[in-house]
Structure 1
């Protein structure tokens, strides 16, 4: 029973932590955007608690995705989208009225509403600083939440710690991509690029709903009269039984789109900063290494299939 109580306590603690973070995000975005409808996103926070009771009744955790993390992201992502699109509207309004270079907006109306909490981080109490802080907290909360959240019985301790290390690296890349891209002065009024960055940032965060270090257990061999069917079944088993699927998810959801946006900024928009060049090279090296790893894993699996036949 102690183990059962521990699992229940940890599951409830993670959901309360997600609720506190979501409440902070909704409160701050509603504060800067001044739109009360944002509070309706809080109703989505009921879903993780319903899912919590379902998990308790079934005594079975989800294997290949996390409903709790997904529900949390469904609250946070739209709210941060609203905040960033509000910045875009302000920049467009300034350009149309003053015909300037679409600089950053200095909102003096919030100076007399300073919150002591933000001063600890050495930041001014404005929307863009809060957007950065909320995104940083999001990555930290997701990683800590995955650490505390009870894992499925099939996941080993080694897989869990590997997953946390993968999430730390991915979270740092996602945070750097959004902060670097959204705050470039050259694209502050470029609606298409802002939307593209937000979409890619959203796709990157969806990786946190999947256990990228898990592999499917080996299935028992079954004789089949159809050789083609048996070969297809072995190929699928080899695909999910290795890390090929996780590498492809990382390339499609993170490194590939990140590289595409950065190359577009470098060569089409002529934006050349030291960090942009560095992380572009990093994405190229990462994709090259990932593709080579896929080749090695594929050849290894193919050799096993040849040996079987």
Structure 2
């Protein structure tokens, strides 16, 4: 079992490094400057993290946060920025397919003239030359797509660590699938607009929001309960709220401040200030508005339920009736914690309490 954990931890990080190096290679090919290979030095951080994780954690992950995914973001995001900002990435010409056709004709001629030469080597060279003729727009979009897919697959393959369970991991992966689709659509749909491409400030703003939205992938907070159990008499209401609804609150916060909220602001600016209006832009703006409204509604529901719970708890401590028979040294939780028959409930110990009787 330990060997499988070490294998998964090592293979996942090797996939991250390989994909990041592919991005650096594309930047070097596009810029025609070998100095961009210095971007590969960013992989040293991931290599260091790999060595420390294998030695100290035996390949297992950390609580609430994944350093491997965060360092993968650091190593690949600069390459994607450079590719998006490159002028040739704005369009694909039909003429770009002609070199591939010429190469194909040359290769067929060479195969016919000398079929006994290194056949596999020629096929490899042909494949590399064919990939080199693909226009930059297709290359950049492919890197975006494989980047998001690898984030999900990598998070799946990475050994579970900390307090996250397999059930929580499955919830997290399902969330990541929907999140990745929204992020890919945001980047591709907005940057493909010609008026946006002509405005460098808009391009920088969109890429900045896109980068900000990627920071949710190393986090596991949206499916885990955090915080220590506070006492019933604690006056720190915020701490108690976070203890009871931490996963829901983190999920709402991520949506409002990392994804749907920033996406909505950018799209409203595009439509309102820059007068960029397309059918898909209007649709996804409406989608973001609906998502933000639903998250705010969810936050209000949690708040009302929490305050009702506090009021019921306060009344119980003053001699109110509980939902079920409880120990004299305990008080009962609100009615929504009882079963259908009102016979079972969770109890919280009182620090300084007199015997309290409860009748159903």
| TM-score normalized by the length of structure 2 | 0.72
How far off is 1:291 after superposition? 1.1
Distance in 2 separating the partners of 1:256 and 1:36: 39
How far off is 1:298 after superposition? 2.4
How far off is 1:249 after superposition? 1.4
Distance in 1 separating the partners of 2:311 and 2:198: 56
In structure 2, what is the equivalent of residue 302 of structure 1? 307
1:71/1:118 CA distance change after superposition, 3 Å: farther
In structure 2, what is the equivalent of residue 100 of structure 1? none
Distance in 1 separating the partners of 2:226 and 2:152: 25
Deviations 1:256-286 (A, max 9, x none): 1111121222232222222111111111111
1:300/1:268 CA distance change after superposition, 3 Å: same
Contact 2:96 2:133 in 1 (8 A): no
Task: Find the partner of 1:30 among 28, 31, 34.
Answer: 28
Indicate whether 1:248 and 2:253 are aligned.
Answer: yes
In structure 2, what is the equivalent of residue 94 of structure 1? none
> Which aligned pairs between 1:141-290 and structure 2 lie closer than 5 A?
141-217=150-226, 219-222=228-231, 228=235, 230-238=236-244, 241-290=246-295
Deviations 1:51-74 (A, max 9, x none): 223223333621121111111111
How far off is 1:111 after superposition? 5.7
Distance in 2 separating the partners of 1:12 and 1:39: 23
Contact 1:177 1:258 in 2 (8 A): yes
Aligned residues: 288
Distance in 1 separating the partners of 2:232 and 2:303: 24
Structure 1 regions of 5+ residues with no counterpart? 92-102
How far off is 1:232 after superposition? 4.7
C-alpha RMSD over aligned residues: 2.8
1:61/1:308 CA distance change after superposition, 3 Å: farther
Contact 1:163 1:212 in 2 (8 A): no
Contact 2:261 2:292 in 1 (8 A): yes
Distance in 2 separating the partners of 1:169 and 1:117: 33
Contact 1:234 1:305 in 2 (8 A): no
Distance in 2 separating the partners of 1:79 and 1:146: 21
Q: Secondary structure at the match of 2:223?
A: coil
Contact 2:67 2:218 in 1 (8 A): yes
How far off is 1:212 after superposition? 4.5
Structure 2 regions of 5+ residues with no counterpart? 104-125, 315-360
Contact 2:61 2:161 in 1 (8 A): yes
1:308/1:152 CA distance change after superposition, 3 Å: farther
Distance in 1 separating the partners of 2:134 and 2:73: 24
Contact 1:242 1:297 in 2 (8 A): no
1:174/1:12 CA distance change after superposition, 3 Å: same
Distance in 2 separating the partners of 1:247 and 1:190: 32
Deviating more after overlay: 103-112 vs 136-145:
103-112
Contact 2:96 2:135 in 1 (8 A): no
In structure 2, what is the equivalent of residue 75 of structure 1? 75
Deviating more after overlay: 194-203 vs 241-250:
241-250
In structure 2, what is the equivalent of residue 129 of structure 1? 138
In structure 2, what is the equivalent of residue 41 of structure 1? 39
1:117/1:258 CA distance change after superposition, 3 Å: farther
Deviating more after overlay: 259-268 vs 142-151:
259-268
Contact 2:226 2:242 in 1 (8 A): no
Q: Secondary structure at the match of 1:202?
A: helix
Distance in 1 separating the partners of 2:12 and 2:232: 45
